[in-house]
Amino acid sequence: MDKTTKKSTRARINQDHAQTQFNPTQEQRATKRACRLSVEKSNARMNSGKNAEAAAAELLETKGYNIIARNLRLGHLEIDLLATVPNTNLLIVVEVKARRSGTHAPELRVDWRKQRHLILAAQLLLARRMFHGKQIQFDVVAVEMDQLQKPQSVRHIQRAFDASHK
C-alpha cells in the first residue's frame, strides 16, 4: 500500500467516524435530563435524611442520651442512631423517620418489616463483646420537614416497639 492509499484510507475512516459521532435525539436528551433530575431528587432526599438525623440526634442529646453511632451498618442492616443513657445498662436503637409536613405521621412507616430488621441488627450488636449484657430499647424519632427540607417538628417515641412476637 502506497502513501496516497494510506492517506485516502485514513481520511475515509475519519470521515466515517465524524458521521457516526453521537448526535442525541430529542428523546435521548429528555432521558438524560430526567436522569439528572432523578439524581438531584435523590441528593435532596439524602440531605433531607441527614437533616432529620441531625435533628433527632440533637433532641436525644438534649434529653441526656449519648449518641455512640450514626448510620451503623451491620451487613445489609442499618441502625440510624445508636445511643446509651448514662448510668444505665440500656442500649437504645433509634429509627429516624422523616416526612413532609401535612402528610401522614412519619412514625407509621416503621412497619413490621422495618421492626424485624432493627431487631436482627440489635441481635447482631448484642453478640459483640462490648455490648454483652446490655438491655435493648427500640425508639422512633419522627421528624416533620418543611418545604425546604428543614426539620419543622421532632417527636421522640420511647419504646415504640419491643422484640417480643416479631
Please tell me which residue, 49 or 9, carries the higher pLDDT value.
Answer: 49
* Single-letter amino acid code for the residue at 157: I
**This prediction's pTM:** 0.69
What is the fold, at CATH topology level, of the domain defined by 22-161?
Answer: Trna Endonuclease; Chain: A, domain 1 (3.40.1350)
Q: Would you state the pLDDT for residue 41? A: 47
For a pLDDT cut of 90, what percent of the chain falls above it? 39
Cα Dmax for the chain: 90
Query: 50: burial class by Cβ within 10 Å (0-12, 13-18, 19+)?
Result: middle
Residue 160 neighbours by CB distance under 10 Å = 19
Residue 146 neighbours by CB distance under 10 Å = 12
Examine the pLDDT at 134 and tell me if it is beyond 60.
Answer: yes
Examine the pLDDT at 42 and tell me if it is beyond 80.
Answer: no
Examine the pLDDT at 157 and tell me if it is beyond 80.
Answer: yes
Length of the chain measured in residues: 166
Please tell me which residue, 4 or 110, carries the higher pLDDT value.
Answer: 110
Question: What does R_g of the chain's alpha carbons equal in angstroms?
Answer: 26
Q: Where are the domains of the chain?
A: 22-161
Average pLDDT in the chain: 80
Examine the pLDDT at 15 and tell me if it is beyond 70.
Answer: no
* Single-letter amino acid code for the residue at 137: Q
